[in-house]
Structure 1
Amino acid sequence: MLLIAQNHFQLIVEVGLILLATMIFVLNLVPLSLSVVTFLSLFLSAGFAILFGADLAFLILSFGQHEFTHPFGPIALLAIITALASLKVMEESGVNVARLKRIVYILLAAITIFGGAMHRSFLLLWFVGLFIGYTIISKSFRQKSILTLRRIGMFFGAALVAFGVLEIVARISSMEIFSPVLRISRLAANSLSSLKLVVGNTWLIG
């Protein structure tokens, strides 16, 4: 049957679609107040910050199973952006959210540092996701666009600094797993063969 996954890629796509449909159904069926949404987003953000930190600690200490946070990046991004949007709604309503905003930024920094140190490709996708999220929030509240030359330059500057810090840490600690340069070189060396493999084994349904 066409709906039965024949390989891992099809299984991932099908599970993703099921989760997306379930989330849309639940969000439209279950009434959630702003306070509940804010609490859940903060709770999830804190949980993912702890998970990314634990994953990094296990990697450094060579203890137990590590690199188990690969699939958590998009969910952590959803939680952070939801928290920021919730705080924006509360702020527009006249609620003092200074402390909550400080907590969100701390969690944002923690996930960025731990996730970026753990997964080299995480930083780029994380920054792109945050950039898109901030854009959606600013457009939703009819604020001035955040797409300015200065902020775009700051974005790329922060990304370069983050990659540079990871490379320095990799050189000092002699742990190549932290090196983004090594990851880029491997991508350059294996991208063509990987692309041929994917194209040769990809069909209309997966």
Structure 2
Amino acid sequence: MTPDPRKVAILISGRGSNMRELVRQADGYEVVLVASNRPAAAGLIWAEQRGITTWSEDSRGQDRAAYDQRLGDRLKESGAGTIALAGFMRILGPEFIRRFAGRMLNIHPSLLPKYKGLDTHQRCLDAGDKEHGCSVHVVTEELDAGEVVAQARVDVSPLDTVSSLEAKVLEREHELYPQALARFVAR
């Protein structure tokens, strides 16, 4: 039986601001699980307070393949047909990605394919870019290289700092990700 793509599991590592917006703005999908590789992630408490099932296990010091297997098994048990990475600060192994191929989205703070990986805001400022933004993309084995399904742009001011640029982009992420996820599960 094929999992229902409208049942969504969200993976987080911290406060879960994008996860909260995915839950608040859910349209055409239901969040069935919030999972984290950090048991102290504040987003887990927020999800639990709203009656969303949560799962967490600290990934530090764990064998990647074994951890990914346990996480994947929990996602399967939840009935999730779509997985949304929302500030999940852990690279998933190739076996995990193949297991859920074509069913995972991620939000990334740059206009991909520009600035894959970390420190995107600083890299944008260092390059003197006039425009920055965020991208929702399909997760593949190559980091931040999957098909881009949506983007949002922000203007970069000469007065911007990493913090101000991060805040501008995060505001756009909160608008973009729920809309992109709704379209993705409906396809």
TM-score of the superposed pair, with normalisation by structure 2: 0.25
Higher relative contact order (CA 8 A, sep 6+): 2
Higher-helix-fraction structure: 1
Compare CA radii of gyration and give the structure with the larger one.
1
